[in-house]
Structure 1
Amino acid sequence: MLNVSSKLVRSIDRKIWIILLVNYNFPPFLYLVFISLKPGEMGEYDVISLVALMLINLLISVLIGILIKKNKKKQLEPIKTKDLLESIFNNLDIAIWSINKEKNMLLSKGVENIYGQTREEGLNNTDFWRNSIHSEDFSVVKKIDEKWNDVEKYEFEYRITQPNGEVRWIRDRGLPVINEDGSLERYDGSNIDITRQKELEFHLKESEERYKILVENALVGVFLIQNFKMVFVNQWFTNILGISKEELLGTNFINYIRDDNKRLFKQFRKLKDGKVSFVIDKIQIKAHDGTTRYLEIQANLTTINGESAIIGIVLNVTDRKKAQAELHYRENHDILTGLPNMNYLNTFIKEEFQRFKKEGIPISMMFFNLDRFKLINDTFGHRVGDQLLKIISNRLVDSIQDVGAVIRAGGDEFILYLPYTIKSQATDLANYLLKYFSEPLILEDQEIRITASIGLAFLENQDSLEDIIQKASSALHVAKEYGRNQYQIYTSEFSKKSSRRLQLEQRLRKAIEKNELEVFYQPKINLYTNKVTGLEALARWNDPLLGAVSPAEFIPLAEETGIIIPIGKWVLETVCKQNSEWQKKGLPPVHVCVNISSRQFLQDDFVKMVEQVLNESDLSPAYLNIEITEGVALYNVEDAIEKLMQLKQLGVSISLDDFGTGYSSLSYLKSLPIDYLKIDRSFINGIFNNKQDAAIIHSIISLSHTLGLRVVAEGVEEKNQIEILEQLNCDEIQGYYYAKPMSKINIEEFMSA
């Protein structure tokens, strides 16, 4: 291989070698060596050495080329950096500037976007920035000048106005550059467009203001507590406590709690320790003005500035608390008198009663009831009746001297619960009450005399609260039956009387179911023609077991138990059907009067029920007369007038029954849409012996005629009563003198005669 190479080298022409050496930039010394050789003088070793030198030269050339290239690249890097900085300087939306003492200025192109004018314009007018400042912010010029004079750095934010009128916000920063001798060489600075940032700040501030207004004017209290000290409260919170923010902030909220503040402190501690996630509690506070407020607190844990805090809201539940207390009070007290009611008795007193019974403490129970209170109501009106009940309640409370309790059982009935009271003490109290309440009272310039009946019972071993109350009630009924204005002590015999009452109630209900009641009719007679002008329907009851039961016994019972409502409807239906049948038989057509109880009249659908009965019986409304008492009419005058007007529109006539007992209510006559006025029999009975009664009757008749009413005298039993009534111009009479109440068969014969 070497021989071949040598031969090859030697065979190459000298000129070719020269070309190679020149073209490939071999060092000159190789060229000189080569041309000094004579042809044929180059041996194999010479060739090899020459080739090696050529290769070494090639490598050195390559290395030198690489180094030269790197050197050129390094030389270009500062140029590129300069170009990059120049690009940044000119293209950023930042005005970079420099100004020396001679007012020579250097500006970047960023000034064009900020100030809306070319850099050349800015360089030509070094005060362009002053001229661009917004008129409202022009005071900043003085501040900047002061900084320049004092050679101090500065940073200000202000508005500028571009030539097109657009307002921009900028942040102007200036930094003095000082020479080695301490003198000012120049000021370097930048102006940055912060309009967008300011807009965001304004929006944020507006949002903060809105939230601040929302929090400050919230209808609930808002608070923030750190380390158990209040660090924020809103206006509501200060108002509810009556203390200013300055006084509240930094204080412990627990200090303002009136009730058990340790409870809330423990809950806040648990909240802070992470044992609970939220707190809801109701507290009682004492406001600065001394009033008590009830608040509901809802709080949870948060973090403020890296520290845990309790944030919460406060609701004023004082009104709700008062409403709940009022509701609780109403549930357990009588609204009119303020006395405890039966619910209170069966709830709170029952617990005490059972405890006292176990301890062997003597207990007396007194059932107290006013005699003829309904008459007082009917005579003087319910307003006077209510005033009387209040007086009675206060007197009873004063009488027991904080021993036990007075409970209003309903209406004019009261229960006196008397623990630590033996029999002799209870009877002494009963005698005192009977005497006390027999004294006259003056109400609205009226002298009112009342009496009371009392039932007494004493705790026995096996008695429950219900048992002793029932015993006192039975004793009360006996006192009523024995003439009122007395007290009776319960004995086992009274149970029989109570059994009679219970038996009557049960039998009366069955009588309604089995249709055992009957309607009797008593005629009304025209005092001058002696003709029948109408009939009054009266309910009668002849029980198969009990025999004939007096209306004076079963009607009050029906009123008390509510049975009167179905009885009243049955009477109305029966009367209307019967009157329709009589007219179809050809009997003289007259109206029939039906007494309506207060319970029935107060039913919301009463008028609708009357209309329905008339339609079903095919009876003309002109032949139905509705009788109500003065007490019913005056119980709720507006409601009564409305219902009576509706009945009148149907064509039904109206009678005001038992008039005279309510003489004080004559003024209401002109307001009531009635047709007949019936004078109570109590006035007719005394028409001979009592001139005052005769004068009252005369006044009633005269007033009634003035108002266009016809007058009916009830309970007429003697001829001389008729003679006086004729002289007083009474229109009609009703009573035993002409006819007693009769069955439908007998009344048919009476009407046909």
Structure 2
Amino acid sequence: MKDFKGQPTTPNSASGDHSTIGAYELGADAELHPILPGVIEALSDGIAIARIVGTSGPLLYVNSAFERLTGYERDEVIGKDCRYLQGNERDQAEVVRIREAIKCAEPVDVTLRNYRRDGSLFWNALSLRPISVGGELFYFGILRDVSAIRETEIALERAANVDQSTGCLNRQSFMIAAEDLVARQVGPVLILKLDAIGFHDINAGYGFDVGDALLFEIGRRLRTTGAALVARMGANEFALMFEGADETSGSVLIERVVTSLSLDFIVPGASVPLRFAIGYAVGEPGTSAVSLVRSAGAALQAAKLDPLSGPRRFRETDAEEARRRVRMTHELKAALDNDEIVYHFQPQIDLTTGRCVGAEALVRWNHPLFGSQLPGRFIHAAEQTGMILNLGERGLAAVAAFARCVNAGRDRQLRFSINTSATEFLHRDMAEVVDRILGESSADPRWFTLELTESMLLNDTPGVLDAFRRLRRLGVGLSVDDFGTGYSSLRLLETFPMTEIKIDRSFVGELPSSESKMVIVRAVIDLGRALGLTVVAEGIETEAQRALLAEMGCPIGQGYLFGRPCDGESFVKNLGSQ
């Protein structure tokens, strides 16, 4: 009887429940003995046989395919334990499985990282089978290079679990990993969510390539904070999970995150300072990850409303507010479907002649339970949920149709003002929307003025400024609402193609008794006249206020003195009585 090298060997009897190997005991199949060495040498898979001695397994035999696969010559490895193939990665979980299997003389199949003689990595699909011969334990190993398959699997796994723009986990993988970590925790955990404020301005002003570079850098910085998990949850929103975060350490962790994001972001083509809204929640063992993420999200939404207040820890009122927004979204959608959103009209009067020259269209919600609701009760929720886009478009169409009916046959046609939201300009092509709606209603664009807040005019991104200019080319007017109460700047009137400024009621109300208010109002009227802008004074309630404004040269006034906001039918009836 010969071994795999063709050398004589002494037959041994098999013992135990394990298989015997031909080189040691062929039994009834002795006629195969002459061809077995050639067959094994011809195999494309690497073959190795080792004798188990204590905790070591020196190799007795390797075939040619083993040499080709590993780069080691046969005489270099015989007598050595094949653990050398593991390089410095002997802490792989698969190595532990191999060690346990050998200890119990059991078969094992693993795929692990191995290293060739030249140091290059390959993925080894290794099958080990125990063989007992003459009371000694041997292992027969089959090695197969599955690097291409494993690398494809890794790439697919990464694509399924990792956000490609940032290298962070994606939402789904974060939730799965967070649930697993929370289930294993014996102490509190902290989940933090953050949002880059005004990130859409970055994409609009610098381009999406700079935006993507910023997202990557945000993710990189967050991964240096020591968080157990970091994920991009969508758009410019990220989530982090910290383990073992009690009251004291939680504050330290939050400060670490804030510090990591505090420096300007240097990316190709730009140096950008970013501000972040942060919300977080701390949960004790037994709290679900889904609940914590939801709570951190509610705190984040609250932090967005007051971004200067800093990171916000979850409060129960945040959850109540989140539920209210959900209800409001549902109710607003139903309100639009049921035509519950209507407009009331407050006349605007020529202060010299007393003639009505136009009206401001003011949105109202005819709630089936609570009656007529002012915009302060629902506009903010509509902006937060995106319903403002539907509400604004439907409202503009309704006002356009009303204006066409009112102006039909009039010698002096009325001009209608309608309030617009920054969200409408930032999230769609407002000029295209207005042009389409006015075209569908056959309404003259010169009949309409869009009222904009001063804070909105601070957003002088190229897209918004272009929309303003296109609206002016259509003939639609642009008005600065509540002028003087926000971030008033002469630069706004210089930069934007405005046609009108509205003096806020807070200045008008104290006109007869406040010298300073009179100086300010007179200055605004003179400024408007010098720039060729129409000036409208809001909140006129007394004849004394009207007289003062007319004396100062203010051309148009609006307020309870001339009429309260009323529905369209009443407005038309009042026009007829003039």
TM class by shorter-chain length? 0.5 to 0.7
Give 1:582 shift: 1.7
Residues in 1 aligned to 2:231 and 2:121: alpha-carbon distance in whole angstroms: 42
Give 1:627 shift: 2.5
In structure 1, give the amino acid aligned to 2:180: Q
**Structure 2 match to 1:555:** 379
Whether the aligned pair in 2 keeps the contact of 1:407 and 1:414 (CA below 8 Å) is yes
Does 2:364 correspond to 1:540?
yes
Give 1:676 shift: 0.9
Whether the aligned pair in 2 keeps the contact of 1:591 and 1:624 (CA below 8 Å) is yes
Cα separation, partners in 2 of 1:366 and 1:702, compared to 1, 3 Å: farther
Matches within 5 A, 1:122-521: 266=120, 331-332=165-166, 347-348=173-174, 351-352=177-178, 354-365=180-191, 417-423=241-247, 457-460=281-284, 463-474=287-298, 490-491=315-316, 497-521=321-345
Q: What is the TM-score with the length of structure 1 in the denominator?
A: 0.44
**Structure 1 match to 2:575:** 751
Whether the aligned pair in 1 keeps the contact of 2:415 and 2:447 (CA below 8 Å) is yes
Whether the aligned pair in 1 keeps the contact of 2:424 and 2:430 (CA below 8 Å) is yes
Cα separation, partners in 2 of 1:675 and 1:348, compared to 1, 3 Å: same
**Structure 2 match to 1:613:** 437
Give 1:477 shift: 6.8
In structure 1, give the amino acid aligned to 2:329: E
Whether the aligned pair in 2 keeps the contact of 1:456 and 1:490 (CA below 8 Å) is no
Give 1:684 shift: 4.7
Whether the aligned pair in 2 keeps the contact of 1:472 and 1:490 (CA below 8 Å) is no
Residues in 2 aligned to 1:500 and 1:612: alpha-carbon distance in whole angstroms: 34
The C-alpha deviation readout for 1:171-202, integer Å capped at 9, x for no partner, is xxxxxxxxxxxxxxxxxxxxxxxxxxxxxxxx
Whether the aligned pair in 2 keeps the contact of 1:627 and 1:657 (CA below 8 Å) is yes
Residues in 2 aligned to 1:537 and 1:634: alpha-carbon distance in whole angstroms: 24
**Structure 1 match to 2:500:** 676
Matches within 5 A, 1:537-616: 537-545=361-369, 547-584=371-408, 589-602=413-426, 605-616=429-440
Give 1:468 shift: 1.5
Q: Which has more helix, going by share of residues? A: 1
Cα separation, partners in 2 of 1:508 and 1:729, compared to 1, 3 Å: same
In structure 1, give the amino acid aligned to 2:422: S
Give 1:495 shift: 5.0
Residues in 1 aligned to 2:338 and 2:330: alpha-carbon distance in whole angstroms: 12
**Structure 2 match to 1:710:** 534
* Of 547, 555, 565, the match for 1:741: 565
Give 1:589 shift: 2.3
Give 1:544 shift: 1.9
**Structure 1 match to 2:54:** none
In structure 1, give the amino acid aligned to 2:165: E
Whether the aligned pair in 2 keeps the contact of 1:474 and 1:494 (CA below 8 Å) is yes
Give 1:509 shift: 0.8
Give 1:709 shift: 0.6
Higher RCO (CA-CA < 8 Å; seq separation 6+): 2
Residues in 2 aligned to 1:719 and 1:427: alpha-carbon distance in whole angstroms: 58
Residues in 2 aligned to 1:422 and 1:468: alpha-carbon distance in whole angstroms: 15
Residues in 1 aligned to 2:499 and 2:425: alpha-carbon distance in whole angstroms: 18
Whether the aligned pair in 2 keeps the contact of 1:526 and 1:532 (CA below 8 Å) is yes
Whether the aligned pair in 2 keeps the contact of 1:587 and 1:752 (CA below 8 Å) is no
- Structure 1 gaps of 5+ residues are 1-226, 228-259, 281-323, 334-339, 384-389, 437-451
**Structure 1 match to 2:97:** none
Give 1:518 shift: 0.9
* Of 490, 500, 503, the match for 1:666: 490
Percent identical residues: 27
In structure 2, give the amino acid aligned to 1:360: V
Whether the aligned pair in 1 keeps the contact of 2:358 and 2:414 (CA below 8 Å) is yes
In structure 1, give the amino acid aligned to 2:492: Y
The C-alpha deviation readout for 1:375-430, integer Å capped at 9, x for no partner, is xx9xxxx99xxxxxx9xx99xx99x9867799998999987755422357658999
Whether the aligned pair in 2 keeps the contact of 1:587 and 1:751 (CA below 8 Å) is no
Cα separation, partners in 2 of 1:602 and 1:356, compared to 1, 3 Å: closer
Does 2:446 correspond to 1:622?
yes
Does 2:489 correspond to 1:655?
no
Cα separation, partners in 2 of 1:634 and 1:262, compared to 1, 3 Å: farther
- Structure 2 gaps of 5+ residues are 1-70, 72-113, 125-142, 149-157, 207-213, 260-275
How many matched pairs?
A: 411
In structure 2, give the amino acid aligned to 1:361: G
